[in-house]
Amino acid sequence: MLGTDRSGTATAYASIREQVKDGDLLLFQGRGWLSRVINRVTGKAQSTRRSYSHSGIAMWWHPPVVPRSRLMVFQAVGRGVEVQPASRAVDRYSGHVDWFPLTDEARSRLDVDRLFTFCLEHLGAKYSVLGLVSYLWHRIIGDLEGARERQSPRKMFCSWYVSHVFTEAGLDPDVRHPSHFTAPNDLADSDYTVYGGTLHHDREAEAAGARDAHA
């Protein structure tokens, strides 16, 4: 069972948390000025008719790395590439968060261990403001073809990071563009993802789950 249909009815994060698998994507619909600029330039994803301005990769962390199993999200934000609990990312984001599970075909082709390794290797990389500006400019003038993949980027924006680490792990989620020209909408429209639901944070449900975990 996935989180919800596409009617806009949100599902509590805690109720679908256990359904999320390593490598699933979280795509964010922001309300801030930068999100509005990105949405204005990139339009809407064909799969959901929604505008996404941020993206991250879900990964489970298990003991002994953490005291109890936690669903985390790797993402490139203004502070750089980081990892934080997915519950916090959903709770603190000013906007909607959609869950996009990987398809069965994607899972058959993806090396999840390599994906996790590459996600970790890029932790601390700086956010590429110039890369984002370059992408938006090329999008405006309609020139997204023919650019070569940047093999070892030191700075990345959100969907560049997602596309890059997936490609390193053997699965290119956006075959139409190089990673530094991949937008969150392209990840939503990928052949390797499906819409799973729109999430909202339910503090009472999560608190109950935490109590059960320690019982």
Of the candidates 142, 172, 136, the residue with the CA atom closest to the CA atom of residue 37: 136
Q: Give the pLDDT confidence score for residue 149 in this predicted structure.
A: 59
Q: Give the pLDDT confidence score for residue 94 in this predicted structure.
A: 87
- How does pLDDT run across 80-108, given as a tens digit for each residue? 999 999 999 999 898 899 999 999 999 99
The answer to whether the CB of 38 falls within 8 A of the CB of 53 is yes
Q: Give the pLDDT confidence score for residue 50 in this predicted structure.
A: 95
Residue 205's pLDDT band, with cuts at 50, 70 and 90, is very low
Q: Residue 149: CB partners within 8 Å, gap ≥ 6?
A: 167, 178, 179, 180
> How much of the chain is helix, strand and coil, in % rounded to 5?
40, 20, 40
Please check the confidence at residue 192 and state whether its pLDDT lies above 90.
yes
Q: Give the pLDDT confidence score for residue 147 in this predicted structure.
A: 57
Residue 44 exposure: Cα atoms within 13 Å on the Cβ side: 5
**For all residues of the chain together, what is the average pLDDT?**
88
Mean pLDDT of 196-204: 77
Mean pLDDT of 122-144: 92
Topology of domain 11-213, per CATH?
endopeptidase fold (from Nostoc punctiforme) (3.90.1720)
Q: Give the pLDDT confidence score for residue 64 in this predicted structure.
A: 86
In whole angstroms, give the CA distance from residue 57 to residue 35: 19
Tokens matching residue 179 = 């990673």
Q: Which amino acid is at 127?
A: Y
Of the candidates 28, 78, 72, the residue with the CA atom closest to the CA atom of residue 183: 28
Specify which of 57-71, 103-117, 192-206 reaches the highest per-range mean pLDDT. Answer: 103-117
Q: Give the pLDDT confidence score for residue 203 in this predicted structure.
A: 55
